[in-house]
Structure formats: C-alpha cells, structure tokens
Structure 1
Amino acid sequence: MMTPSQLADLVRRSDPQGEIDERHDALSFAAALGEPALRAEWLALAQTPPPFATGISIKIGDSDGDLEDNRPIAPGDRFQIRIAKRCAADILLLFFSEGYADNADTHSAVGHVRVADMPTGGTFTTYRTRFEAWTEDAPVPFAPLEKLPDPRTYASDFTQLNAVPQDIRPWLLGTAPETESAMFAAWRLIAVRKLLASLADRVCIEEGQVIYAFSGPPACKVALGDADAPTLFERVTEGAVWVYAEGLRDADTRHLLLANEWARTGRKAAMADMGQGSLESAKGAYSAYVKAGSKETLKALAELRKSIVDETQKISQRAQDLIGAMWKDVAVAAAPFALKIFPDAGKAETSFIASGLAIGAALFLIFSYAMQWHINAKWFEQQKNARDIWKSQLNLVLDPNEVDALSDPPVKESVKSYKNVRCWVGGFYAILVVLLTLFAFSNRPGAAVRADDAAASAAIRAGSAGAAARFEQAAGARGASIAAPGGPGVAAKAKAPPTSAPATSAKTQATRQRAAQ
C-alpha cells in the first residue's frame, strides 16, 4: 500500500511542469508523463486510490477527457493530475513543505499539520499546533495552550493582508525540532513576519512592500527581507512571549515599552541589529514604571487586603455565632424532666401532660436542628458566591495565590469548627430525642393503669395467701382441742379464723382509683 511520502516522491519523479498547487483538500500539477511505466503507475493509482486520497483524476491537457491505457501519447502532450485528499477535522494534510505558505491561514485553526516530505526528526510544536510527518499512523495527541491577548488590539493593520495575526499562538515556538527541515524553515519565515507585526505599532504597504512602523520616539519604519528573517526570529519570539504570554494583565504597557525600544534600535543601519537588547531595556523600563506607581499601588493593595481581612473576620464571627446558636434549645429539652420533682408526679393528669410535653419537645428539637442546619448551609453558600465575585475582581490586581492565602484558610478553619460543633450538637440532640421518647412512653396514662392493676393483683394474691395460712392454723388448733381434755366445748369457744378482708380491701381500693381516673 502506497504511503503519503511515496506518493509525494511519485509526484517529484513525474517532473511537474510549472508550480504545484496544493490546498488543504487537493493537490494539482501538470506533467508530460512521457515514460510508459510512469503513465501506467498513475493509471493504476487512478483506478485504486490509496486510503488517504478520495480520488485521483488524470485529464488530457485542458480538456475534460481522461487518460486511457490505449491512447497514443504525442511528444507535446500535457496531463493535469489532481489528487483529492481525505480531509480530517483539526488536521491540515500537506504533501510538500512548499505548499505551507498558501495554507498558513488554515493552519491557524487546526491542532495538527502533517507533511509527507517532512523527516521524522523534524517534529516541532507551537503554542497552538503540532507539526509532524504524515504517516499511516494516527497523529500524536496535542493540547494547545489557552488563548492569549489579541495583537490587533495593540497593532494596527492597514495592509488588508491579515499581516497582524488575530491569534499569536500559531507563531510562538513551543518545542524546537531536532533537525532542521524545509517545513520548519517555511514556517519560521512566516512566523517572523507575524511576530514582528504584532510588536509594531502599525503595519502598512508602501511601494509594494510591507512596512513595519514603530512610533517611538524616534519613529522608525522597516521592511523585512527573507534573508534577515532567520536572524530576527529568536529576538521577536522572546519579545512576543514577554508581551503576550507573560503579560496577560498588562500586555498594553509591555507592548508600548517594547515597541519604543525597537524604534530606538531601528536607527542602526543594519537590519540584523534591529531589536538587539530591546527586550532587556523594555524590562528595565517596565520595572521603573512599576516602581513609579508603587505608592498608589501599595495604597490600593493595602485597602484591598484590609477589605479581604474584614470580610474574612465577618465570616469567622458569623461561624462562631452559628456555633453558639446550636445550643439555644438544649434547655427546652430538660423542661419535661422537671415535672418529676412535683409531689403529684404520680397522678394520671400529670403523667398525661408530661408525656405530651416530652413528645412535643422531641419534635421541636428535630425541627429546630434541621432548620438551623438548612439556614446555616444556605448562608455559607451565599457567602461563598459573594467571595467568588469579589475574588475574581481582586485577581485583576492581586496575585490569585495571595488572595487565596488571605481569605481561604481562616474561612475554612471557621467552617471546619462549625461542622465539628454541629456534629457534636447533633449527637447530643439525638440522645435527648431518644430520652424524651422513652420518658413519654414510660409516663403515658395506660402504663400507669397497668401498673396499678399489677399492684392490686399482687396485693390480692398476698392477702389470699395469708388467709389460707391462718385457716390452716385454726384447723390445726381445732383438732388439738378435740383431742385435749375439755373436748368440744373448749374448741367451740375458740376464736373463728379471720376472713379475707385485707384482700377485699385492696381490690376495692384499686377499683376506686380506676373510677376516679
């Protein structure tokens, strides 16, 4: 099976007449195809295209007729060959590095550029795209960096040629290739112009040339030739990284300072010397700028830090208030137990009231704890949303790590203390609810009646047992009197055994208590 690099070599061997027109979706060129073996190879490919091509067409001259096997070939015949590529999302496929210049704008919107004539060791990456050899293997996964500030905000483009890029990432080198290649040279030639345009104050066309103007002072205008582009590549790359990649919040100030330094170095005669030492001078000027405004900045930062601390203290104090509020209902739970100290705690009326109060107190504790939990959770959520809003604003001035260090630890500690106390209070509330429930069931009226019935039954059983014992004792005495001297007369005078009056009296008392209830 033919590979993309083999097909690119076949195109070279066909001796293209004129330029090779390569686009993201197809490649077209003209060739004589004078050798029969070469024509046969192209005809075979046209009948069975490789997997990476959707079709190959061979036209005779400028006509619509297709090349056939039995057609005679005249010495002056030319054939138009078109290879349609099988396009993939987020990938730009090229057979030749020379075709990159015509597809540079397309490259800005893709994550992979695969080139058939690119060596394996020539792989390199930018902040936006990975350049690699076009093989049968799937492309290596690549994640671009986040979008950087738009250079068109700081550099004016009057060329109508998109000289100032909208996205600077495709032109910032991420990892350099192991070996130089034609693809890297083609990309670098365009990248130097794009980066220089992003550092200039304005770009225009004068006398057919693209002019890069720096306002200065002193004002400076330069034109960049292909021979000087490799010399300036490292210089413009470092400057663009400092302005756009490192200066996300103050790219405008950095761009102004660096453009002034480029204008100062532009007074030198040699184009290769332009921008020499400009980045170091711009960094020094930026440092002086920061120090000049340090008094106002420090004052503003002090106010911001004070606001953060005050807000944090409010949240911490609120958390302490919530911790204290969790205990406010504990005294209510102890009220039913106070009923036990009254002298009439054993009465039925008091038992019914105590049981009802205990159930009510248990329900009140559950409802109060649930409501406090819900209200406190909502309050913490609202405070978090409010902190996120003002922290996002402070991050524009303060470092995000500094803002987090000032606000997050105290708030987290306060919330942690609140949650610990909430767990302990919840456990204590659970114990109180269980005790109140047991207290209510033990003092309900039905339980008191059953207790009285049990006491009455025990008294009856005790009285009956005592009467039986006395009856047996009297019977024994009667027998003894009959056998003794004096006979029955004496026994008749003996006192009769007592009746079961005590048992009857206990049962009567229990009946009266139930009637009173």
Structure 2
Amino acid sequence: MSVESLAARLDALDADGAFVSESEAIVSISNLSAAIAREIGALALTLGWGTVAFDGAGNDWTVEDLDEPFAPFRVDLEKPLGPAGVLRLLTNVGFASWLGRDVSIVHWQVAQLTTEIVAVGACFTPWRNEITELSPGLALRCPRTLVREFAGQRAVPASIARWLLRDVDTLSLHDPAARVWAEHASRMLLLSLPDEFDVDRGSLRFRGPPRLELSYPAMGEPITTILGLPGIKDLQAALAWVFEIERESEMRHILLATELARCGGTGEEAPEFLRDYLGAALEGAKTAYQLQLAGMSSDALKTLVELRKSVTDETAKVSDATRQIITAVASALAVGAGLIAARMTTNASPLLIILVMVMAGSYVAITILSGVMFTFLQRKVRKEWQPRLYRFLSQPDYEALVASPARTAEKALWYSSILGALAIIVMAIAIFLIPPALSEHIDNSPIPKNVSAPPLVQAHTPPKNRTIPVSSAPANDPVPAPPRVNSTHEHK
C-alpha cells in the first residue's frame, strides 16, 4: 500500500458522493458507510497513520466497531507533516481547494503529482522529492491595476506568480494533479487578460476597436479540456510576455487586448476563442510593440539629445560657480596679503584691518553659498523630473548619463569651496596673530620745556687757517672777525 494509492482511493470516493476535506494535518472523509469507513481505516493503518471515526451524532468510534445502522460515518486521518514551511497535501480534492485560497505558500508537496511544476512564485513537487529552492523571480505587476472590475468582490487575482510557469514546455496534462493546477492557472490567467471583467454577467470585455465581449466559463467547465495543451501554452506565453517587464506591462496588455478584439465577434466562449486566435493575436501584439518601440526610439533620441544639452548646461553652470569661488578666494587672499604687509610695515589701525578682512571673507562666503544653493537646487530638480521625463531610461543608464557627470562637477565645486574657506580662515588667523612688535613705531613724545638746546660748536669756535681776503668781507665767512690788537705795539 502506498500514499498515492490511498490518495487515489479518496479522490474516487469524493467523486462517488463522499465529501473529502483536507487541512495541513488532517484529512477528513465524511458521508461514508461502515464498510467504506473500515476500508479507509485499514488502508491508513498499513501506512501507520492515526485514524478516528465519528458517527452522525459526533460520537467517536474505533474503526473495527463501526456498525452500519449508525451510518453515515466520518473518518479523520492524521497525515505526516512535511518540512517546515512546506504544505503537504494528500488528495487532489484538497489540492484544488487550497489552490482556490489566497495563501502565500511557496513550497507545495502533492502526493499524486509525478512531475515538478515550477512557477514564478511557487514550486509544486511530489512528496518524496527534496525541497527545490526557487531563484528570485520576476517583479510582476498586479493584474488588478490593468483589469477593471464591475463588482465589489474582486475576482481578478492580486498576483499571477503562482500561475505563471518559468518554463512552459515542462507542463504535462497526463498527471491528474498537474491537470488540477493547470485548470486553476488557466482560469486566473483568463481573468488577467481582458480590459474589463463583469462578474454579474460573466463576461470578458476588450475595448478594441472593435469592441469584443467573451463569455467566461462557469465553475465546473473543464477549461483545460477545451484549450488543450497547445492552448494552455499559448495562454502562458501570452501572459508571460505581458508581465515580463513590469514598467511595460500596461502597454503590452493594451496591445494584446486590442489584437484580440480584432480577431472575432462578440458572444463567443472565451476558451474556444482563445484556443483559435490567441497565438495569432500574440504575434500581432509583438509586431505592434516593435513598431511602437520604433516610433518611440525617434522620440527617445530627441529626448536624449535634449537630456545631453541639459546636462551640459548644468555642468557648465556648476563650473562657472566653481570659477567664481576660485576668483573670490584669490581676491580675498590678495587682500589678506596686503593687510599682512600693512600690519607689518605701517602703523595702520587694527580695527580697519579687521573690517577689511571681514568684508573680504563675507564676499567669499556669499559666493560659496550661492554656488552651493545652486547645486542643491539642480539636484532637487533632477530628482523631481527623472520619473516624469526620463522614465524610459534604466537606473544604470540614468546614472551614467546624468547623475555621474553632475556629481563630478559638484565635487569640483565642493573641493574649491572647502579649500577656499580653509585658506581664508588661515589668512585671517595669520593677520590677527601678527605681534604688534613687528610694526614700526614713531616717537611722538613731547619735548620737556626746561631743557636747553646744546651749544653750537661752530658759532663759538674760532676759525683756523682761514685766509682773509683783501676785500672788506671774507669770502667764506659772512661775519667779520674782530681785529686782533698787538698789545706790545700799542704800548710802544
């Protein structure tokens, strides 16, 4: 006895009128006769599973003591739990029930599944297989943002990551469990295809032109049987192309819906229509998409030319601001050098020197502040307009074309501002720290009143070796010398 045999027997009982429900740990089979309940208990006993039986009144029984007058019975089987984070399901009935729930389970193990089903956001494997680690999937857009619904309760799935295969060629419908998954996946993908979905009328609407309306299949109708494996693969390929690139999903969805609207008339059944026309509509949508890209490429080139001009203008303005800062710093340094020379060689007023240095520093500070404010303004403008004008550029391309040149120009301005400010600060400190002793001082002290001037030596010194000219006045002495009297001659 195997787990697969027990699962197949329970699914067969559900088809014959029994009711099978399955939780994470318990499989419950109700509406059973005593003989069938004993059979289920025996099958579970061979697998070593715990079994409990209940009658219609809720009284528990052992499987061996079941008596037909107390039928119908319910049998609960305790199945072994799977690894942590893995949902393990025994029956296809339980598998279908869990697929209809909005759960965020990534790893599923299904007893009757013979091949792996690897979707973008989930992995379905048999019980005995090891857990497959999923690689990071695509970032898929929510279908509810593309399909309009006319009802309060949402029927369009919030995500198709569980229903979109990574490799559509791996799908096989020979496996009953795989067919269950394909049925649910096809229904969810059908709801993600039109422009509008009317729940009350059960219609899929494509705006066109021309307008197309298809009938959504009722619950219980086998979509996989109508579509067949080729139709299911076409549906998978179409939705994979639409949601392949998240930012282009809206445009691709519109193109595919428009191509489908051009293929037929209103009132047809959706599975038959898609089986016949979806492949051709997908090819037409891809062609229209290429033409759309060709038309957008010329506009994109014009936008890129304007972008290059804008980046060049911005970097030129930042370079001009950098040159203005350098000029202001050089002027302030020249003024500072003059102030140092004035402080060392003249008796200039310290207050005047401080005032001139403050004015020069203020000029440099205002120039630096204007350049920095302009840089912040340009950065904010780029951030605000990038998602509006240059959304077609990927983040690495935008980084290489716009952000990197702008940062290079900004670095020159920042370095010039920092070094210039440091130079001005050092110059100011040097001016203020020059000791007053290095300056020349003029002695303006008053002369004492009672101090006589020194005698003039030349006025009282008799001339020596001077020649008296014949004329009445000497040649080199404006004051005539008194005559010298020979006292001996006068006596005689």
TM-score clears 0.5:
yes
Cα distance change of structure 1 residues 102 and 59 upon mapping to structure 2, 3 Å threshold: same
Count of residues in correspondence between the two structures:
417
**Could you tell me which of 319, 328, 334 is aligned with 1:331?**
334
Cα deviation for residue 103 of structure 1 reads 2.5
**Could you tell me which of 267, 273, 276 is aligned with 2:276?**
273
- Asked if the contact 2:109/2:125 (under 8 Å) is kept, the reply is yes
Partner of 1:241: 240
SS in 1 for 2:75: strand
Is structure 2 residue 154 aligned with structure 1 residue 167?
A: no
Partner of 1:472: none
C-alpha distance in 2, partners of 1:341/1:36? Answer: 112
Cα distance change of structure 1 residues 134 and 377 upon mapping to structure 2, 3 Å threshold: farther
C-alpha distance in 2, partners of 1:371/1:6? Answer: 86
Cα distance change of structure 1 residues 168 and 415 upon mapping to structure 2, 3 Å threshold: same
Partner of 1:146: 139
Cα deviation for residue 110 of structure 1 reads 0.8
Partner of 1:195: 189
Is structure 2 residue 393 aligned with structure 1 residue 392?
A: no
Is structure 2 residue 411 aligned with structure 1 residue 413?
A: no
Which structure 1 residue ranges, 5 or more long, are not aligned? 47-56, 449-517
Superposed, 1:35-434 pairs within 5 Å as 38=42, 41=45, 46=50, 58-68=52-62, 72-74=65-67, 78-81=73-76, 83=78, 93-107=88-102, 109-117=103-111, 122-126=116-120, 128-133=121-126, 140=133, 143=136, 145-151=138-144, 153-154=146-147, 156=149, 163-175=155-167, 180=172, 182-203=176-197, 212-214=204-206, 215=208, 217=210, 219=212, 221=214, 225-229=223-227, 230-246=229-245, 248-249=247-248, 251=250, 253-266=251-264, 272-289=275-292, 306-307=309-310, 309-339=312-342, 342=345, 350=347, 380-396=375-391, 400=395, 403-422=398-417, 424-425=419-420, 428-429=423-424, 432=427
- Asked if the contact 2:7/2:91 (under 8 Å) is kept, the reply is no
Which structure 2 residue ranges, 5 or more long, are not aligned? 218-222, 442-492
C-alpha distance in 1, partners of 2:406/2:247? Answer: 29
Structure having the larger proportion of residues in helix: 1
Superposed, 1:469-480 pairs within 5 Å as none
Cα distance change of structure 1 residues 397 and 276 upon mapping to structure 2, 3 Å threshold: closer
Q: What amino acid is the match of 2:160?
A: I
Cα distance change of structure 1 residues 288 and 101 upon mapping to structure 2, 3 Å threshold: same
Cα deviation for residue 389 of structure 1 reads 0.8
Cα distance change of structure 1 residues 260 and 359 upon mapping to structure 2, 3 Å threshold: closer
1:105-158 CA-to-partner distances (Å, cap 9, x unmatched) read 435x415142241668615122x3333456798884665543404346345467
- Asked if the contact 2:143/2:158 (under 8 Å) is kept, the reply is yes
RMSD: 5.1
C-alpha distance in 2, partners of 1:218/1:358? Answer: 85
**Quick check: 139-148 or 367-376, which moved more?**
367-376
Q: Percent identity?
A: 20
C-alpha distance in 2, partners of 1:98/1:233? Answer: 22
SS in 2 for 1:21: strand
- Asked if the contact 2:38/2:66 (under 8 Å) is kept, the reply is yes
C-alpha distance in 2, partners of 1:435/1:341? Answer: 12
Give the TM-score of the pair, scaled to structure 1. Answer: 0.61
Cα distance change of structure 1 residues 341 and 333 upon mapping to structure 2, 3 Å threshold: closer
Is structure 2 residue 15 aligned with structure 1 residue 21?
A: no
Cα deviation for residue 323 of structure 1 reads 4.2
